Amino acid sequence: MDKEALLDDLMSNKGTSSLLSGQLAIKVVIDNQYIPPLITGAEEDIRASFTSLGHVVDSVLSDQIKTIALVGSAGSGKTTALEKFIVDWAKGDHCQKFSHVFLYDLKDLSCDSQYSLKTLIQQNRHPFDPESMALVLQRPENVMFVFDTLDLYKHPLDRSEHTLCSDPSMPITISTLLASLLHGSLLKGATFLVATRPTDSLKFLEGFKLELLGFSKPQREAYFGKFFPDPHVANIAWQNMERTLSFYDFGSSPRFCWTVCSVYKNQLDAGERMPETITEICVNAMAQIVASLALDEVRAREVVLALGRLAAHCCINPQSTCCKHRIATLGLKQLLNAPLLVHSLLRVDGNMESDQCILSFHSQLMQELLLAVSFFLDKTIAKDATELLNTHEGHVRYLHLYLAGLLNPSQRRPLESLLGAFNDEQLMDFKCWLETSSQKTVEGYHKEKHLTVFRLLHQSQNNVLVKEVITPSARIGISYGGLGLVDCVALNYVVKCLGGMECLNLYLANNLTEEGTDALIPAMGLSQKITLSNSSLSAASVAHIAKALREGITKELDLSHTQLGDANLKVLCSGLRACKLHTLNILASGLTEACCGDLSLALTSSTSQLSVLDLMFNKLGDQGLVQLCQALENPFCKLQELKLRSCQVTAQSMEALSTALCCGQSQLRILDLTGNTIGDVGAEHLSQALQHPHCNLQRLTLSATELTGRCCQRLAQALRSDHCSLVELDLSVNELGPEGALQLCKALRKPGCPLEKLSLTRCELTQVVFTEFGLLLTSGGSQLKSLSLALNDVGDEGMKSLWKAIADPCCLLEELSIEMTQLTDVCAGDLCASLRASRSLKSLDLSNNKLSDASITALVQVVQDSPFLQEVNLKYNDFSEDVFEIMDECGKINY
C-alpha cells in the first residue's frame, strides 16, 4: 500500500469522538493536537532521548530486533501513537527504510475466516497491485506490519499452538497466519510494531518492549494548551486538573485528559465552575452522554439502570465482558439500537448481529460510576450498601469513591436533573455505613485503612461528615509515611476540614514526592508538630516544607535520620527565619560544618522562635560549633536547648562556647555534649562558664567525653559558686575514679548547691564513694533528688550506706539507679527495710543484678505496701518463672 493511499485511508476515518472512548486518533494527529506520551524502554531509560514513537523505533530496530511491543494501559495513547507513527512515515519523517507499512486493528479481523498472507494484504483497505505484492515478498526486510489491540485478540498466538506456515498463498486461520508472521515462519525478515495492554500474550513475543507511560505534568500542560485556543483559559483549566485530578494513577492517560478537557470546556461554556473531584468529572461526562440521547426522565432512568445491571455483571465477570446471550436477560437489547450510546460507553467485539458478540465498557471509571448511580436510583442492584459492597469486593477500584462522592447533592445534581432524584433511603443507608465503618477504622492503628477513609471523605467534599467521622477517639496521629500523591491530597483535605492537627506523622516517608509535599503544605501549616524522621526528601520537597513553616503554626519539626544534607538544610533555613517553630530535630542527617553558617543566620533572625535544636550525630566539628556560638551571642537568638551528641567536637571549641555562655545574651539552659572528645581541658572551660553570673546553664551532659578525675576539682569549684545555676549534671561513662567523685560530693555538701540530678554511671566508683554519698544524702544540705550510680561494681557491702540514707527522713532522693552493681540476695533485708522507711523514693532501678527468687516475696510485699514507691525495675535478675505470678500481682514492678 503506497504512502499516499495509506494517508487517504487514515484520514477518511469518520468515526465519532466520545467522552469515554477518547478522541479519534487521526483527528488528534491532523488537528496538530498530538503530544508524545512518555515512552520508556524495557532495557534502558530512553525517555530523555526521544520525542516520538518514530524516533524510538528508528533507534531500537536492528538485525537482531525485528519486533517492538508498545505496552500501555487503557487510554495511554497506544492507538494514537501508532497512527501518528504511520502519518509521520507516510510524510517521510522516519523509518524510510520501509517501502511498505501495513496497519491492522486485530479486533477487527474475523477469526472465523481463512486468509493467505496475500489475501490479508489485499484486504488492507485498498487494492494492492501485483508488482507491489512481488516487492513485498521478495524484500521482506523493507516491510513493516503494525498490529493494534493485540490484547483483544482472544486466540493464542504462541508457536506451540500452531503449525506454522511459510507459503504466502496458502489460506490458513487468521490466528495461524498471525503466529506465522510474528514467529518468522512467514515473510521472514519483516518488522512488527505491536500495541497491547499488559497481558499474558506478551510472553510469546521476542524483541524490544516499550512502555507507554502517558502524560507527565509538562505534557499535560502542553496538551491543555493545544486543546484550549485561549492560553489563559488553557492555563486555568490545566491548573485545576493538576490541583484536583492529576494525583490519580489514570491522570496521565491521554484519553482521560481529553475527557477532562471536554468536560471543562462544557462547564466553562455554560459559565459554571470546573469540577473538583473524579466523581464530578465522571458525573458531568455521563450527564453529557445521557443528555445527547434526548430521552425523557423515565426513559433515561431506565437506560441508566440497564447500564448499571451491565456494569454489575461486568464488574464480577473475570473478563469484564458480557456475552450476547446475556444481553436480553439484563434488559439491554434495546440499548444496542442506540449507536451513540454504544459508541460512547461500550466496546463491541464481533458482529452486532452475531451470537459471538461481546460487550464491555471502554472505561472502568464509567463502568463503576454506572454501578454506583444505579444503586442510588433504586434497589435493583442491591438492597443496601453492605450487600452491594460484599458482592463486588475485590472486583472494583472506584465504587467506594463514587458512592461517597454521590452523597454530596452538588456532585450528583447533573444526573438528577436528567434522571430524577436519587433514592433517599439508599443514600441514607450508605451514609450510615460510611460513618459507622469509618469511625471504627480511624479508632484503630492500620495506616492503609485510615488512608482509605481519608480518600472517601475527600471524595465526599463534606466538612460536616469529616468532623462526624474524625471524633476525639480517632487515632489520626499514627504514622502515615509512604503516602502516594492521592493520599497526600486526601489527608490534606481531612486536616483542613478539622482545622488543625496535633501531630502530622509522616515517619519513613521514602516516596514523598515534590508534588506530594506541595499538596500537604496546608496540612503541615495546620499541624503543631510534623514528624518526617527516617524519610527521604528532595530539595524541592524541603522548599515546600519551608513554605509550610513560614505560613503555618508548626512548633515542632522532626527531620532526624533524613540525610538532609547541608544543601537541603540551607533551603529549610529560609523557612526557619520567619516561623513559629520552637523545636527542630535534625539528628543524624548528614550535616557538616558547612551548614552551621545558615543555621546561625536563621537563629539570629529577629522573627525566629527556635528554642530547641537537636543536631546529634552530625559531623559539625569545632568550626561548626564556633559558628553556632556566634549565634548564641546574638540578642535575637532564643535558643535554650542545644544537643550536640557525637558531633566531632573537641576541647578546641570549648573556649568559644564558654565565652558565648558568659556573654550576657545567651539564653541557653540545656547543653548535651555526650560522645565528644572534650577532655579535662574542655571541661575546665565549661567549669569557668558555670561560675559566671551571666551563664544560665541548668542542665549539662558530658557523658562519654573522655574526662578523668582531674577535671572534678574545677567542676566542684563551679558547683560551690554562688552564681552556678546547674540543676542537672551527667558525667557518666568517664574515668572519674573515687578521687574525682569525692570532690564532687564535697561540693554537693555546700548549703545552697542547686544540683538536683547527678549521673555517675560507669565512672569506676568504689565503696568509699558510695559511703560518702550515703553521708551526703543524710546531711540535710544536699538537694539531690535523682542519683545514678549504675555500672559501678561495689556489691552488697558497698550499698549499705545508701540503704541507710534512703531510710533517713533527711534524704530527699526520689530516683535511684543502681543497675548492674553486683547486688545479691544478701542485701534484701537492708533493701526492704530502707524501702519501708523511705518517705521520698519514687523510682528504683535494680536491673541487671543477681537477685533471685529468695528475695522476691519480701520485696514485692514492701513495694505493694509503700505509698511512695511508684516504680521498681527488676529486669534481668536471676528470677525463675516460678515467681513471675507473684511479681504480676504488683503493678509497680517491671521485670
Quick one: what percent of the chain has pLDDT higher than 70? 94
Q: What is the largest CA-CA distance in the chain?
A: 119
Instruction: Return all residues near 712 (Cβ < 8 A) that are at least 6 apart.
Output: 736, 739, 740, 741, 743, 744
**pLDDT tens-digit readout, 287-318:** 999 998 888 999 999 889 989 999 999 999 87
Q: For 3-214, which CATH superfamily applies?
A: P-loop containing nucleotide triphosphate hydrolases (3.40.50.300)
Residue 213, pLDDT > 70, answer: yes
d(CA 40, CA 214): 10
**pLDDT tens-digit readout, 434-469:** 999 999 999 999 999 999 999 999 999 999 999 999
d(CA 771, CA 781): 16
Q: Cβ distance 743 to 772 under 8 Å?
A: no
Q: Of residues 31 and 276, which shows the higher confidence score?
A: 276
* Residue 696 CB-density burial (10 A; 0-12 exposed, 13-18 middle, 19+ buried): middle
**Cβ count within 10 A of residue 36:** 21
- pLDDT tier at 110, thresholds 50, 70, 90: low
- Reference 827, options 797, 867, 869, 786; nearest CA is 797
Residue 333, pLDDT > 90, answer: no
| Least-confidence region, from 195-204, 274-283, 487-496 | 195-204
Q: What does residue 462 show for φ and ψ, rounded to 5 degrees?
A: -135, 100
Q: Cβ distance 531 to 512 under 8 Å?
A: no
Residue 844, H or E segment: strand 843-845
Q: What does residue 163 show for φ and ψ, rounded to 5 degrees?
A: -95, 105
**pLDDT tens-digit readout, 824-880:** 999 999 999 999 999 999 999 999 999 999 999 999 999 999 999 999 999 999 999
**Cβ count within 10 A of residue 891:** 11
Q: For 759-895, which CATH superfamily applies?
A: Ribonuclease Inhibitor (3.80.10.10)
- E strands, 690-785, where? 699-701, 728-730, 757-759
β partners of residue 699: 670, 728
Q: Cβ distance 301 to 419 under 8 Å?
A: yes
β partners of residue 504: 530
